[in-house]
Structure 1
Amino acid sequence: MYGKTNVLERFFNKDFTLVLPDKKKITDIKWFAIYDIWSQNTFGDIYIPEGFEPPTVQRVSSLIGKVNGITTESVEILDAKRIKLNQFSYDGKAKKAYFWVGVGAQPVSKGFKVPDEYG
């Protein structure tokens, strides 16, 4: 089931490496979020730094959610396609929450699901 975009379940201090879908690259997106498509709420998000040039590894701000116990120790952009979440925690209580990326000023429903390394 590698690379599937399953609804997020409960996690506690789990490391994930996410790979952007299809032909998407880090330079094509502005933000990464935990997003519930059922309620159209963002539970936590980070923004990709302006001028980021892969393949340099860059640590960006930690992901600290607004609700649902979302936290990470750190978030790293590894290269043009991969984002690593270190020590990711989430309570799993949202109906349809996914890893989500997109363009624009803030996370919205017009983003894209991102598969994790496990599916």
Structure 2
Amino acid sequence: MSAETFTCGHCHYEFNSGVTTCQGCLGTVIWGATQHEMHQAGVFMAIVGAVIGALLMFGIPAAFNKYLGTALTLGYGFGFGALIPVGIMGMLGYFWGSNKAAKEHRGECRTFR
């Protein structure tokens, strides 16, 4: 039974799975996504989710009022409570984006110096 080996991208030193430092160049071995990559993807999707939530809560009533002649209040009459669904959409976007970044890098082995 042979152990799975990986090759360093900088010095081409071979190492087994599970190590955290390359012995050839002393580079950091990363398994999967870094915390920064997951946070960056999460923040981007949180912004996208909040914009979508704001369009649903404020844009649709404004468009209906303008083009269909209805009398909907912005935020469907919830006042500042209309910001709660916008925040929920932002949080869902953050978790979805960070999980997506983790799935994209799952099983990868990368070396950094």
Q: TM-score, normalization: structure 2?
A: 0.25
Task: Name the structure with the higher strand share.
Answer: 1
Task: Name the structure with the higher helix share.
Answer: 2
Q: TM-score, normalization: structure 1?
A: 0.24
